[in-house]
């Protein structure tokens, strides 16, 4: 878990640095990281981009899509295939909802996208969209399981 925390803090740290900070050998760090990669606990290493500083003019919006319960899985699967949609979740409150995060170049292109691509999907009943005006925090949740205790069986159950 400590290794994961450190990787989430900075995935470019060397095995030696991590080992020194945790008081373990770099080879142990290597073994554990490889093990977590093999188990799919570490899915990939990526860069967290500040789009604004990178010069990308884009807006982010959260769509809450009320769906026909019979069609919600299909709607969610279709949303997952759309590049502008970056996150998709289902949620059950009073009605079955899909919550999806979407990026667009402007409010106009966001509306165009929702009107021509999302609203026409079979099973979409209503859509509420909130445009993000300011981001205060964006991090990955920390993993609390101890990967040392994982077994192949547990790994299969996770899939």
Per CB under 8 A, residues contacting another protein are 61, 63, 66, 107, 110-111, 114-116, 118-120, 122, 124-129, 131
> In this structure, are residues 33 and 26 in contact, taking their beta carbons and an 8 Å threshold?
no
Residue closer to another protein by CB (options 13, 109) is 109
* Cα three-residue angle 155-80-67, rounded to 5 degrees: 110
Residue closer to another protein by CB (options 21, 128) is 128
User: Considering only CA atoms, which of 88, 55, 60, 86 is closest in space to residue 74?
Assistant: 88
Least CB distance to another protein at residue 101 (A): 12
Least CB distance to another protein at residue 90 (A): 18
Beta-strand ranges (E) seen in the chain are 59-67, 85-92, 96-104, 124-131
Least CB distance to another protein at residue 127 (A): 4
Residue closer to another protein by CB (options 27, 122) is 122
């Amino acid at each position: 878990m400590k290794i994961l925390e450190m990787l989430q803090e900075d995935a470019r740290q060397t095995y030696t640095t991590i080992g020194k900070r945790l008081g373990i050998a770099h080879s142990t760090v290597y073994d554990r990281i490889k093990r977590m990669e093999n188990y799919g606990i570490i899915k990939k290493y990526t860069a967290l981009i500040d789009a604004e500083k990178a010069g990308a003019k884009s807006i982010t919006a959260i769509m809450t899509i009320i769906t026909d319960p019979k069609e919600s899985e299909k709607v969610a699967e279709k949303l997952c295939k759309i590049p502008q949609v970056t996150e998709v979740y289902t949620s059950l409150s009073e009605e079955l909802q899909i919550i999806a995060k979407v990026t667009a170049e402007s409010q106009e292109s966001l509306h165009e996208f929702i009107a021509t691509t999302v609203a026409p999907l079979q099973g979409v009943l209503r859509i509420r969209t909130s445009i993000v005006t300011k981001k205060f925090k964006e991090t990955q949740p920390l993993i609390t399981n101890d990967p040392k205790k994982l077994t192949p069986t547990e790994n299969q159950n996770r899939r």
